[in-house]
Amino acid sequence: MNLLSVSHLNVNFQVKKQSLAALIDVSFTLNRGERIAIVGESGAGKSVLGFSIVNLIGKPGYIASGSIKLDNKELTTMNLRQLQEVRGKRIAMIFQDPMMTLNPVLSIGHQLVEIIRSHTKITYKDAKNIAIEKLHKVQIASPETRFNQYPHELSGGMRQRVIIASVLLLNPDIIIADEPTTALDVTIQAEILQLLLAICRDHGVALILISHDLGVVSKVAERTLVMYAGQIVEEGPTLEIINDPQHPYTQGLLNALPQMTLPGHRLNQIQGSMPPLSERPSGCAFHPRCPYATEACKQQQPKFIYSGVSSVACLMIENMIDEFDRDDPVQS
């Protein structure tokens, strides 16, 4: 059984009298201990998806239809008390800016002890010992000293370590990390990703890593979902997607990565930009930016099909598979 299963999820934003689609028919599963990535440019709907999973999508957003099940229990119909049990304890979230989660006027230790004691009845001394042990685990040097410090006394990377420690306190089954390293400089980014990877592996925690950077996720996630304009356009094993991207949008994302560009060559940014919700193009939403777009792409919504490498929503690939099947009837 899947740990998490999202099926046919539609999320809308109510803007004045208009209902705008932010997520369209999103389906995917996550197994226990598995690490997946959700990638795409900003505005693709990645964070909306992350928030929707724990039903934290705030107004004017709302879940219009679809299902999100954790261990076969429906999350979309849970009341607030039931959801609070799920948040933190079963599914924890890590954001780009640790200051969003840390309270600036309380010491690190105070905040960690509070988290432990709000869920378990133990003495302050025992809670403190657990907190210090977790700070050790996230490789914070001299945790006894850090325990008494305030968030502003720590570097950005150190603060993100504290957040990871705080998430660990409640032994979640799933961590959703939304651009956890984007605000950090490159060397620290790599350290935090390695730490997240090690923590998930050691504790059997499943990870949903949200990132705009395919290069970042390739080091951590076993499976990758590529999102464009609120839809999943490609999904498959991360290595296959990096080595042999099928969807023109995924190809564009890879070509735009500095580490994929040869020295002396210019970065190939995808032309144009992500459409706003109110201006979603007809047919395949990527068609105004796609180098392979045809007239049919402007009219027709591609189906999500298996290409032999990954699953993908693109008419060009659909047609190629159809032709292949026609030429080789034994295969079909």
Q: Which residues bind Mg ion (CB under 5 A)?
A: 47
Reference 155, options 134, 137, 169, 141; nearest CA is: 141
Sorted by sequence, the CB contacts under 8 Å of residue 329 that are 6+ apart come out as none
CA pair distance 123, 211, nearest whole angstrom: 39
316 binding ligand SF4? (CB under 6 A): yes
Name which of Mg ion, ligand SF4, none residue 24 binds, using a CB cut-off of 5 to 8 Å depending on partner kind: none
What six digits make up the tokens of 214? 């395919």
Beta strand pairing call for 35-39 and 206-211: parallel
The phi-psi region of residue 199 (left if phi > 0; otherwise alpha if psi is between -120 and 50; otherwise beta) is: alpha
Sorted by sequence, the CB contacts under 8 Å of residue 317 that are 6+ apart come out as 246, 247, 302, 305, 307
Name which of ligand SF4, Mg ion, none residue 286 binds, using a CB cut-off of 5 to 8 Å depending on partner kind: ligand SF4
Name which of ligand SF4, Mg ion, none residue 44 binds, using a CB cut-off of 5 to 8 Å depending on partner kind: none
Sorted by sequence, the CB contacts under 8 Å of residue 119 that are 6+ apart come out as 89, 170
Region from 9-17, 36-44, 200-208, 283-291 binding ligand SF4, contact rule CB under 6 A = 283-291
What six digits make up the tokens of 23? 């997520």
- 26 or 315, CB closer to ligand SF4? 315
Of 302, 319, 320, 322, the residue at the interface with ligand SF4 (CB under 6 A) is 302
- 47 or 310, CB closer to Mg ion? 47
- 43 or 245, CB closer to ligand SF4? 245
Dihedral angle over CA of 56, 61, 65, 70, nearest 10: -10
Of 43, 109, 245, 248, the residue at the interface with ligand SF4 (CB under 6 A) is 248
241 binding ligand SF4? (CB under 6 A): no
CA pair distance 139, 134, nearest whole angstrom: 9
Residue type, 222: E
- 124 or 292, CB closer to ligand SF4? 292
Contact letters for ligand SF4, residues 166-185 (x by CB under 6 A): --------------------
Name which of Mg ion, ligand SF4, none residue 47 binds, using a CB cut-off of 5 to 8 Å depending on partner kind: Mg ion
Helix (H) or strand (E) holding 178: strand 174-178
286 binding ligand SF4? (CB under 6 A): yes
Region from 21-29, 53-61, 194-202, 291-299 binding ligand SF4, contact rule CB under 6 A = 291-299
28 binding ligand SF4? (CB under 6 A): no
Sorted by sequence, the CB contacts under 8 Å of residue 8 that are 6+ apart come out as 25, 26, 27, 65, 66, 67
Q: Are 11 and 198 in contact (CB under 8 A)?
A: no
- 7 or 299, CB closer to ligand SF4? 299
232 binding ligand SF4? (CB under 6 A): no
Name which of ligand SF4, Mg ion, none residue 28 binds, using a CB cut-off of 5 to 8 Å depending on partner kind: none
Q: Shortest gap between Cβ of 138 and ligand SF4 (angstroms)?
A: 41
- 180 or 230, CB closer to ligand SF4? 230
Q: Which residues bind ligand SF4 (CB under 6 A)?
A: 248, 284, 286-287, 290, 292-293, 297, 302, 314-316
